[in-house]
Each structure stands twice: as structure tokens, then as C-alpha cells.
Amino acid sequence: MSKIKVGIVGGTGYTGVELLRLLARHPDVQLRAITSRSENGVPVSNMFPSLRGVVDLKFSDPASGILEACDAVFFATPHGVAMAQAPALLDKGVKVIDLGADFRLQDTEVFEKWYKLAHSTPDALKQAVYGLSELNREHIKSARLVGNPGCYPTTMQLGFYPLLKNNLVSANALIADCKSGVSGAGRKAEVGTLFCEAGDTFKAYGVSGHRHTPETLEQLTKMTAQKVNLIFTPHLTPMIRGMHSTLYATLLPEAVAMSNDELQKVFESTYVKEPFVDVMPWGSHPETRSVRGSNMLRMALHRNGDVVIVLVVQDNLVKGAAGQAVQNMNIMFGLEETAGLLGVGLVP
Amino acid sequence: MSKIKVGIVGGTGYTGVELLRLLARHPDVQLRAITSRSENGVPVSNMFPSLRGVVDLKFSDPASGILEACDAVFFATPHGVAMAQAPALLDKGVKVIDLGADFRLQDTEVFEKWYKLAHSTPDALKQAVYGLSELNREHIKSARLVGNPGCYPTTMQLGFYPLLKNNLVSANALIADCKSGVSGAGRKAEVGTLFCEAGDTFKAYGVSGHRHTPETLEQLTKMTAQKVNLIFTPHLTPMIRGMHSTLYATLLPEAVAMSNDELQKVFESTYVKEPFVDVMPWGSHPETRSVRGSNMLRMALHRNGDVVIVLVVQDNLVKGAAGQAVQNMNIMFGLEETAGLLGVGLVP
Amino acid sequence: MSKIKVGIVGGTGYTGVELLRLLARHPDVQLRAITSRSENGVPVSNMFPSLRGVVDLKFSDPASGILEACDAVFFATPHGVAMAQAPALLDKGVKVIDLGADFRLQDTEVFEKWYKLAHSTPDALKQAVYGLSELNREHIKSARLVGNPGCYPTTMQLGFYPLLKNNLVSANALIADCKSGVSGAGRKAEVGTLFCEAGDTFKAYGVSGHRHTPETLEQLTKMTAQKVNLIFTPHLTPMIRGMHSTLYATLLPEAVAMSNDELQKVFESTYVKEPFVDVMPWGSHPETRSVRGSNMLRMALHRNGDVVIVLVVQDNLVKGAAGQAVQNMNIMFGLEETAGLLGVGLVP
Amino acid sequence: MSKIKVGIVGGTGYTGVELLRLLARHPDVQLRAITSRSENGVPVSNMFPSLRGVVDLKFSDPASGILEACDAVFFATPHGVAMAQAPALLDKGVKVIDLGADFRLQDTEVFEKWYKLAHSTPDALKQAVYGLSELNREHIKSARLVGNPGCYPTTMQLGFYPLLKNNLVSANALIADCKSGVSGAGRKAEVGTLFCEAGDTFKAYGVSGHRHTPETLEQLTKMTAQKVNLIFTPHLTPMIRGMHSTLYATLLPEAVAMSNDELQKVFESTYVKEPFVDVMPWGSHPETRSVRGSNMLRMALHRNGDVVIVLVVQDNLVKGAAGQAVQNMNIMFGLEETAGLLGVGLVP
């Protein structure tokens, strides 16, 4: 089979360089273009010397037409960009995967409320498929446009799913206390993410409202007939990559009698065939570093009375962003789902 | 007034060196002795060059009798040590502050269950006062023996207290999702706290049971007539000092109508006179670094429907250990409560 | 004695907040004003919550005239600012300490070459005294305008001084391999000092030319009749505060016969009376953390054949900036030189 | 071709787990055994959850005979172990690569002086080949026993080699100011490498003598007819992986007239065909993170008068240990030299 021709829009951020790292070694991919208006003509490896000898491309002008000649284009851009450019690519038969927020929320009113931006392509949005690979694989197979999930929502959905799907917990009092490495904030020059501001300290942020809440709510609602309510508390932790979500859910009266073994089996059977979800033995404490640089999401269960505690870890830039995007590309193009994604977590 | 003569048992760990840092500059204290069997005769500043020119003491043998000549002795030792040595000191009229766990729990059965050790001095224990300075000041004033609180329990108690005391939340479903810097694990040589094991990663630990749960439960129970249930989830975060507790409590039906302003005022009025508790404006996100090296504990409130979220930060080695111990000494000896404790948080 | 009224220009950076931390607890100082055009009217503690309850000032407009009413004004500003504003203050009898570069170099041609800026006040510059406290104390006593040294130059000068002053090494082949924590780069929003760019990595920078070279050369030249040549290689290391300089100097033939003991004594006798220079025993390895938050500079000697190696550490924000500035203020106003500067290094 | 059967002795340390990470994805390797007396029977992935689903082996008893059935055995052990066990394996026709120090130094007197241990197998030592892949490739091809270089020596040799080989600098005054991440100290439980001891601080160590000096001297001496003298100053920097060596060498009078371009070409032509040595453009500042997790060694040149400064970075666990060991295995078995080693540096 000939290789898939791939383009990237917005390759100067962390999800962009992570896509490059993964795609450069992907056996079925030919990297064709990476665009950046501001860096047009600059070799990618000048900005990221880690790619010297690996990626020979230069940043190119997004207006050059090179993206239209690709089979697949990834948008690693702030919200608003994909929505403006995707329709023309789709018209040319290019498949599009947006790592931003433009195609995650089907409810455009909710989108506009949280992103302060009218949705300019509701038609494209309608055909967009939400790219949580494990839970939406069948739709992704035939998708032409995928809205890749946010990092936090990936952990919350995969962690709560077995409980909600099987109607074991109350959906009305879910708590997700989540901790992210600083790379989640992107590569923008901002005081708050300077080494001396974010290092050796810990804080919550956005406790009164975060854009990943409506995205997660929309998806969790599909999993259950119950009314869903979610308290989501994000925190910033002084590490580069990694995300740890501590999920709390209260067993319904009819499920309280379940043994820990039974609960564990619910999770194991849900994910037994998944190459990128690892359910650890009951009572384990997964570490984020165990998935550093890897597309694996790892979880473990605990219980305190009626409350089930699910600990979930992932690399926010891989399973939480670029890795899952590649996983979705693999699904969309009928490739081996694990192609290019078998890198092992870098420990230590 | 002549200075208080102070001794320290076990000065080679982090709470020990922190006591030295604080006491060396305390205006009313004369450091007399610091004991360590293994380091007997070694100048303290050999082990901690930060103390060169500041502390001239050598480690001395605990059997030398020098502690009996002190006015106050701090135990910065693992559990079991203070319980063995405190009674003899108390008999000589020395006041004792134990930073370990020996005198925190009045229920000796609970103590034995969690610490796998019979309590050898139940008589001394009976006169021990729990040293949460803000909530127990009157008893500490006349105490001869103080059990200094654990680091996590300090944040949980001060954070939940205004809600429980005023009967605003259900005590039956308290959740404390807590994150500690690595210094909380002490200065023992262990693989798990090596730089390359604890750095650039995040994990929970002890989710199925932690010794700070029974201590906190015993104290929270005193605050309310309700039955108390607490889910406590500790995490290790890659920073040296600092602790962040994210507390969740559900408003009782009779309190749901309270406005955010009213809730805020409950907290502000509770702590308005406290020199070491700072209630930030509603909706703030306190950072642990804002109290790095300082005895301040800082908190802020958020709300999501019926759930009140209290964010609490402290330096685990200061307000969470050595600083609060000095605060208690100040109270016990009738000194200015802030004496020696006015250092400002080191930022950045 | 009435307190010294102090103002700060440019208090939003790291040297500014460090001045605030030190001056807020200085027994002889009354903080009067801190100016910032952009933050005019904002309480300082809004920007730096570590100062809540410690500093009650609001940022004020530099044009308000409040600085003229001070006894001393610190400039914690980029180069160019102090040179524009200091003359008017000096005319009013205000003493000025500039933590920037405007008054460090007496040679205005060199200044203009390295800072790409004409020196606008050569007259003020002529009366400026270089503020390396230990080596220039007598001039600082009567100074009205002090150019506070750069961070790297402080370590290089104090480390090489005993060797050059006593004519023990060749001045023609000095090498200074220096490593700085990231706070040395300031609090500007720049990609290069983001947590995810500067964390968990190490690099040199400015190897082909750094502004601290001419400053150091000008000063080293005063110490010896030899022609001075210096190779200065700065590096960025993933820590917040701290600076470590590894200095290499080759013994002159007439000094090669000196024993290690004799070399050690040269250093010890040079600094024996200095409260803020600590010569450790021969062969020690000083750690930057031993001076974290402290005004101490610590050094130790090693030797390999004819080459003497001096290891020097300081906190770049304290002895390398704000602390030394306060030390200079103490000297200028006839205060105890250590006033407000006795904080102990924060370990761990 | 059938896969190479590989065993590892001592897989519980950082070089061991790094070998596992690399070999598990090596296309021509079958991992057969990993031995550890203390962990016998424990699944490797219990100790390193990053290997769950990647490595299914259990630790086995080194006495089980399983190693003798391998084609190649790596020793990731402290010195003394390989020397005791290698001869028996060699007798069985197993090829051996020792990542420890036992087969690095041909001079057994020097070995015994620095390692306080008599060399027990001088015969095996005689056939051992020093495994600096780039400089010794032809001998490695036919080697049955390889002594894999130390991490620091790899950077010093590859950095100084073009200068010494071409007789451009004085070999008598080489200075190597080197900085290592903490993983270089291994996974032993020791106070000095705890997170709270090695984090947020910087120090030199072993300045008066380090075991990598004699190893490097022995090799540098082969490169030139001059007498070699080396000052080697190792430092510990608060990052997990990565090594940065700043090398200083003084041009010989006959080379002083060379232009920077000519010097650059010397380096580029030396390494033009090397897949794992990257000479960056003149004046670059390589970052350690650009090779995080990768087998690449990256360098760049600067000059200050007569002194050439070579900046060299590598991942100490990859090119400085496990990666170069795999590279040597590839060479010994006639495989593609880059097989299994094409992972891209993990940035950020």
C-alpha cells in the first residue's frame, strides 16, 4: 500500500511537535507538509533540534495549496482555525482530524458560550465524529472529520464509562479531581507557565468553570439514561508531561453489594481488547511516568464504602492529544490501530 | 525575660533541620541540644551546610542528660521514640512537643491498629493536648505535652472546620483530595523518593488507607454532632515543599440557600484574628509556593451547585510540622504567638 | 533612629519581589512606594499573594513624586530606566541603588557596545560606585549612587579575587564555567524560559558573548597588574534560584610550590571578617541550595596540578541581586551590615 | 534471519530498564532472560509498570543456566559482577557486553587503584574491546567481549577526538566541565539522590578524583602522540536524564590561524557518516532534552581567542549507556547499526 500523505497545520506548539515525533516514525505515513504562517520557510528542525535528521521539512505557507494534496490533515491549532479551513479540505476529499475544540461539541450554543465564538460551519460539524477511539471506533472508521477529544475528557470518559454504562453509580454526583503537567497549557509565552512560576508549586485553576466540562458532560450523557452532573477540578502540577485524574463515583443502592472483584471484572472486561487501555490490579497506584511518551492510558480501582475511586493516568500530549489523533487516523484509514504508536514509556 | 532553653531529639530529618532553621532565629530561644545517636559529636552544620555560621551545636548523645536541663524539647522522630522518652522529661518539668504520631490519637486501640505498636504511656497520653494551634489554643496554653498534628490533618481540619462547626454541610460524605511535596516522606534513603522516581511524575498513594485518616476523623468528630465519614486520597507531587488539599463537602438542605458571600463570611469571621490562616477572596486559587518557608496556611472557596470546594495550601514542613510546633511552643510559654515565625514565603 | 524611607522602581519582576521580601522585614526600613506604570493602583499582594498581610502597598505611578520623598530608591528595572530617572532623584538628595546595568560599567563605549544604547548620564555615572560590597565597602559608605553588580560577576570576582590580588595565578587564562537557575532570566513571558522549555534539560547560552564579561573584566583588571583574559561560559540549569560558578585558574610558576593549606589560608584570611562570604574546608562541594533565600556566598577550593579550581555558590536573587543591594543600602546608611539579611538558607 | 537471543544481568537499575525499553522493540532481538537474585520470580512489569504489555519476562535466577543459552548477554551491574561471570559465558560462545567498568581499563593497576578491587580475569580483559562505537567500530565488529564506555567518557572522547586526532590543540591542558542528570547515580536508595536533596539545587562532586578520569585518559592517549592531561569536573544537575559536557582546549600555535569555518569542517568531516553524532552549526547551543530518550550525541563549537569550546550533549542512559550497548551489539552481530535505536528525542 502506498503511504498516506499527511499534512499538519500549526506545527509550532507541543501537540504539533508531538505529531511530528510520532508521524516521522510511522511506517505507513509520508509527512508532506507542516504549515505555519509566521515560520514560513524555516526548517522545522531549526525550531526543534530533536528533529534534526528526522524531519527534513520546512514550515510552509498554509495558502500554498500543499494541504489539499494530502490524504489527511491534522489541525494542531487554537479553536477557530480548523473550523475556518476544514471545509475546503473536506471538499477536496482530504480527511481532517482537529486536535483543537472546533469539532468536539455538537451543541453550537454550548460551544459559543464557552469559546466566545460563533460556530462558522455547523454543516461540517454535523458530520464530525467525536474521536474518543475506544468508545467511538465504529463511527471513526467511516469519518471524514474527527474532533479529537480534550486531554482531561479522555481520562474522565474512559474512567467513568464502565460504571455509567453498566448503571453502577449515580451519575448525579461525579467528581473528577484532575492534575495536569504544564505542557497542557501549550507553548505560548505566558508568565503563568514560566519555569519559575509553575515550578516547585501546585495549584488548582479554573475551578469555577473549565471548557472541558461541557465536552465531558455531552459525552457522559450518552453513556447513561441518568441525568449527569460533574464537578471537575483541574490542577497544575510541576511536571512537563502527564495527567492524573482521581475520579469519585457513588455506587447506586442496587450495586453496593458488588464485591471489589466484580467491580474489577467490569473494568477488565470492558477494556480487555483495547491495546491502549491498561486496567491494573485492584488497589494499584498508576504513575504518570509509566506512560511518558506512550499512547497508553492506565487506570486502577479503589473503594471506600460506597464510593468507587478510579485513578487514571495518561500522557496528555500522546493519548491526551497527538497519539490519540494518530490512533484515529489509523482507524480512519484501515491501518493497524497501533501503527506508529508502540513507543514504550520513558522511565526514568 | 531569659531565653527558653530548647532541645531537639532527632535533628537529622527534614522536620529537624526545619526546627533548627526556625529556632536559630527565634528571639526568645536558646538552642541547647540536638541529639542523634548515630551522629554524636558531629557538628550539625557538617550535615546541613546551610546552618554554617548559624548553628554551632554538635549532635549529642540522647543519654547525656542534656535534654533534662532544657525548658522545652521537640521530638522530630519516628513514632515510638517520643512515647519512650517523654515521660522522664515530663517528670523533670520539661515541656514536650512531639512532631511524630505518638500523642495525636487519644484512642490507643486506633493507634495500635494503624501504627502496629502498643502505646507504652497511656498516662502521659491522657494529659497530651492535640496541637492544632488555632482550634485548641486554650488547652495548649496550659499543656505540658503536645502532640503536634500531621501535615494533611492540619489542612483538612482548618478547611472543614467552619463548615462543620456551623453545621452547614453533611459530615457523612467529606472528600479530601490532597497533594503533598516529596519532603513529606522524610529524609530516609528509599527508592520511591529518589529524584528519578518522584520527579516529573504524579501518583496517588495509600488510597486504601493512610494513618492521617483516623487522626483527622477523631478531630472532625469533635466539631459536629453528625457522624463523620471522610474519604482521604493523598498524592505525591514533584515539588519539594508544599501541600494542597482540595476539599469537597455537600451543603445540607437547610444551608443550600446561603449565598457565596455568606459562605465567605463564615470563613472570614472564623479566622479573622488568626495570624497564620489567610482566607483569600472567593474564587481564588492559592498556590503552595505562596507559603514556601512560611507558617501561613492559605485557603479559598469555590462552589459547584450544592458542593462547596475549599482549596487549602500550606508548607508541609512549616505550618504542617515544625512551624506549628514552634507556634505551639510560643503559646505554651506565653510568648508572642508569631515570634520567630514571620518569615515571608520565598517566591519565586 | 527613624526608619529609612525606601522606594522601589519596577517591582513586578523577580528582583523587585525579592527586595520586597527582604525590606518588608528589615528592622530599619519603612517601605514607602513601589512604582509600576502598568500596575498603577493594584495592591502588590494581588500580584504576589506571598506578600498578603506583609506588604500593604499598592503599585503607584512613577510620576507621582513619591519617590522624591524617599531616602533611598532601588531600581529593579531593565537597563536604560535608572539612567533616565536617577539624576532627578540624586538632585533631591535621594540615594540610589540600581540593580540594572546602567551604572556598572565606567567605560561608556563598552556600555554602548554591549547594551546598544548611548549612556545618557555620564556625569552621574562618574560618581557611581560599583557595589560589590566586600571589595568596595569604603567607597560604598559615602556613595550616593551605587551600581549593583551582576549575578555572575559577583561570583567570579569574589572567587578570583584572592588569587589575583596576591598574584598567585595567571590572569591571562581565566575560565569561568557558570550555571544559573532560571530566575536569572527574569519574569518576562518568553518561550525559552517556559517550564516545558527550561525544565528537565540543560544548555549553555551566550557562549560567544555575554554582557557580564565586560563588567567582570573591568573589575578583575583593578585587582592585578597583569593583563586579564576571561573565558566566561554561562549555562541554564533547571532550578529556580541558585548559581554555581566553577572557576579555573593556573598557578604562576612562583606559586606552584604553595601547599593546599597555604592556598586555603589565603582565601580564609581574605574573607575571615565577612559576614556573607563563607570559605568551606578544602575539597568541599558547596550546593546552591545551602544558600537558597540567603545572602551568603559560599566557596571551596580544589586543585589539579597547577590549576586551582574554585567552586562558588550564591542565590542569584539575593547575594546576586536584591540581597547585595540591601547590604549596600546598609553600608550607605551606616546600619549594621547584616540588618535584614540574616535569613537562613531554606533546606530542603 | 532468526532473532538474536538476548539476556540481561541486573535489570533492576536504570541502565537495565533502559536496555529493556530498547530491546523490547528491537526488530532483530528476542528477549530471553533478565536475572536478579533478589527479585527472582517477580514479573519485570511489576517493578516497572511502563513495561506492562511490553515485556512479559519474570526476573530469573542468574544460576539457572538460561544465560548460557543466549547469543548475547548484557551486564547492567556494578563493577565486579561481570568480571566474575563473563568468562563462563564466553566459554559457551556467548557474546558479552558489560555496561559496568570491569572491561573498560586495560591497565589493571589503574583499575585496582580506582575500583579498590583486584581484576580477576586479566585474560578475558585482554580480548575485551573498548566499546566507543564511532572510534572503535572495526574492533567491535569481531569482538566477543565489549567494555561499554562510561557516560562522561563518551562525551569527552567524541568531543576532543577531532581536535586531538588532527593535532590541533594542546593535549596537556584539557578541561572538561561536565554536568549530569541524576539518573547517572543509579537507582540505589541513597540520601544524596533523594528528590529533596538533588532537586532545585546544583553542585559539583568528585572534583578531586573521579573514576571516569583514568578511563578517558587511557583512550585520549591513543588519539595523539602528545602527553595528555585532563581536568575533569563533574556536576550534578536537577534533571532526570541528560548530560552536558563543556570542553575547553587550547589551539596549538600552528593551528591558531585556522578559521572557525575550517574548525567546523574538521568536526563535520569526522562525523559525516555517523548516524548517532550530530555536529550542529557553529555557535549553536545544544540542549540535553533534544536527545532525551534518543541515542544521538549532539555537539557544537565555539571559540574564544585560542580556546576552542566544544559543547556536547547526550542522554546519559542511552548513548551514554544502554543505547551505545545496543549499538555495539548491532555492530557485533552484523545488524544495521541503527536497528532499534531510531527513537526520536522526547520534546518537551
Which chains, if any, share at least 3 CB pairs under 8 A with chain C? A, B, D
Number of domains making up chain A = 2
Q: Which of C187, C191, C200 is closest, CB to CB, to A191?
A: C187
Whether the bond into A238 is cis, omega within 30 of 0: no
Please tell me the predicted confidence (pLDDT) of residue B175.
Answer: 98
**Chain B CA closest to residue A250:** B173
Euclidean distance between CA atoms D220 and D266, whole angstroms: 18
Whether the bond into D49 is cis, omega within 30 of 0: no
**Closest by Cα among C232, C236, C237, C227 to C156:** C232
Same domain as A22, residue A107: yes
Euclidean distance between CA atoms C195 and D341, whole angstroms: 28
- Residue B347 included in any domain: no
Query: 3-class DSSP state for residue C203?
Result: strand
Helices A133-141 and A323-332, axial angle in degrees (round to 10): 30
Question: Using CA of residue B214, residue B220, residue B225, residue B229, what is the dihedral sign?
Answer: negative
Length of chain B: 348
- Residue C44 included in any domain: yes
Q: How confident is the model at residue C62 (pLDDT cuts 50, 70, 90)?
A: confident
- Residue B199 included in any domain: yes
- Residue B38 included in any domain: yes
Q: Taking every pair of C-alpha atoms in chain B, what is the biggest distance, in angstroms?
A: 64
Is pLDDT at C319 greater than 70 in this prediction?
yes
Euclidean distance between CA atoms D33 and D29, whole angstroms: 12
Question: Using CA of residue B23, residue B28, residue B30, residue B33, what is the dihedral sign?
Answer: negative
Write out chain A residues lying below 8 Å of D51, CB-based. 344
Same domain as C242, residue C113: no
Query: 3-class DSSP state for residue A297?
Result: strand
Please tell me the predicted confidence (pLDDT) of residue A1.
Answer: 65
In the structure grid, which three cell numbers stand for residue A150, read together? Answer: 480534550
Euclidean distance between CA atoms C98 and C130, whole angstroms: 10
Q: Please give the distance of CA B204 from its chain centroid, rounded to a whole number.
A: 21
Which chains, if any, share at least 3 CB pairs under 8 A with chain A? B, C, D
Residues of C recognised as catalytic: 151
**Grid cell 481540619 in the structure block, residue:** B157
Mean pLDDT of chain D: 96
Residue A279 β-bridge partners:
A299
- Residue D194 included in any domain: yes
Same domain as D159, residue D108: no
Write out chain D residues lying below 8 Å of A241, CB-based. 348
**Closest by Cα among A92, A44, A100, A43 to A67:** A92
Residue D29 β-bridge partners:
D4
D258-267 LR contacts (CB < 8 Å, sep 24+): D258/D168, D260/D301, D260/D303, D263/D168, D263/D301, D263/D303, D263/D308, D264/D301, D266/D162, D266/D163, D266/D166, D266/D168, D267/D162, D267/D299, D267/D301
Instruction: Give C75-98 pLDDT, tens digit per residue.
Output: 999 999 999 999 999 999 999 999
The percentage of chain A sitting over the pLDDT mark of 90, rounded to a whole number, equals 95
- Look up the domain containing D305 and give its range: 152-316
**Chain C CA closest to residue B272:** C53
**Closest by Cα among D137, D143, D150, D145 to D96:** D145
Write out chain D residues lying below 8 Å of C175, CB-based. 175, 248, 307
CATH label of the domain that carries residue A226: 3.30.360.10
Euclidean distance between CA atoms D210 and D103, whole angstroms: 17
Please tell me the predicted confidence (pLDDT) of residue B1.
Answer: 65
Same domain as D217, residue D118: no
- Residue A170 included in any domain: yes
- C-alpha distance from B246 to closest chain A C-alpha (Å): 8
- C-alpha distance from D119 to closest chain B C-alpha (Å): 30
b or e along D47-85 (b: 16 or more beta carbons within 10 Å of the residue's beta carbon)? bbbbbbebbebbbbebeeebbeebbbbbbbbebbbbbeb
Contact D182 B196 (CB under 8 A): yes
ipTM, 2 dp: 0.97
D70, D151, D178, D196: the active-site residue? D151
Q: How confident is the model at residue C145 (pLDDT cuts 50, 70, 90)?
A: very high
- Residue D20 included in any domain: yes
Instruction: Give D111-141 pLDDT, tens digit per residue.
Output: 999 999 999 999 999 999 999 999 999 999 9
Q: What stretches in chain A show pLDDT beneath 50?
A: none
Choose, out of B178, B195, B201, the residue to mutate when testing the contact with A (most A CBs < 10 Å): B201
Residues of A recognised as catalytic: 151
Contact B237 A237 (CB under 8 A): yes
- C-alpha distance from C250 to closest chain B C-alpha (Å): 28
Is pLDDT at D62 greater than 90 in this prediction?
no
Choose, out of B241, B243, B304, B311, the residue to mutate when testing the contact with A (most A CBs < 10 Å): B304
Same domain as D295, residue D237: yes
Distances, alpha carbon B191 to alpha carbons B119, B195, D34, D186, in Å: 30, 9, 20, 10
Please tell me the predicted confidence (pLDDT) of residue A38.
Answer: 87
Same domain as B91, residue B183: no
Same domain as C113, residue C8: yes
Same domain as A172, residue A225: yes
Strand order in the sheet with B243-250: B203-204, B230-236, B174-180, B243-250, B307-314, B297-304, B277-279
Please tell me the predicted confidence (pLDDT) of residue C1.
Answer: 65
- C-alpha distance from C17 to closest chain D C-alpha (Å): 20
Write out chain A residues lying below 8 Å of B233, CB-based. 177, 246, 309
Q: Taking every pair of C-alpha atoms in chain A, what is the biggest distance, in angstroms?
A: 64
Please tell me the predicted confidence (pLDDT) of residue B11.
Answer: 85
Same domain as D290, residue D197: yes
Q: What stretches in chain B show pLDDT beneath 70?
A: 1
- Alpha-helical (H) ranges within chain C are 14-24, 44-47, 81-91, 108-115, 122-127, 133-141, 151-165, 195-198, 212-223, 260-271, 323-332
**Chain A CA closest to residue D186:** A348
Contact A194 C187 (CB under 8 A): yes
Q: Which of C199, C288, C302 is closest, CB to CB, to D203?
A: C288
Euclidean distance between CA atoms A152 and A149, whole angstroms: 8
Same domain as B207, residue B169: yes
Q: Is A209 left (phi over 0), alpha (psi -120 to 50) or beta?
A: left
Distances, alpha carbon B193 to alpha carbons A346, B284, D12, D46, in Å: 18, 31, 16, 18
Q: Please give the distance of CA A28 from its chain centroid, rounded to a whole number.
A: 22
Euclidean distance between CA atoms C282 and C258, whole angstroms: 14
Euclidean distance between CA atoms B42 and B37, whole angstroms: 10
Is pLDDT at C328 greater than 80 in this prediction?
yes
Q: What angle do CA A55, A56, A60 make, to 5 degrees?
A: 105
Same domain as C170, residue C307: yes
Q: Which of A14, A188, A196 is closest, CB to CB, to C14?
A: A196
**Chain B CA closest to residue A196:** B348
Residues of B recognised as catalytic: 151
- Residue B9 included in any domain: yes
**Grid cell 495527567 in the structure block, residue:** A243
Same domain as B170, residue B213: yes
Please tell me the predicted confidence (pLDDT) of residue B62.
Answer: 84
The H or E element spanning position A233 is strand A230-236
Write out chain B residues lying below 8 Å of A177, CB-based. 177, 233, 246
Is pLDDT at D1 greater than 70 in this prediction?
no
CB neighbour list of residue A331: distance below 8 Å, 6 or more residues apart: A133, A137, A140, A141, A337
- C-alpha distance from D317 to closest chain B C-alpha (Å): 12
CATH label of the domain that carries residue B95: 3.40.50.720
Q: How confident is the model at residue D290 (pLDDT cuts 50, 70, 90)?
A: very high
The percentage of chain D sitting over the pLDDT mark of 90, rounded to a whole number, equals 95
Q: Measure the CA dihedral B70/B71/B77/B81, to 10°.
A: 80
Kindly calculate the radius of gyration of chain B based on its CA atoms and give it in whole angstroms.
20
Is pLDDT at D250 greater than 70 in this prediction?
yes
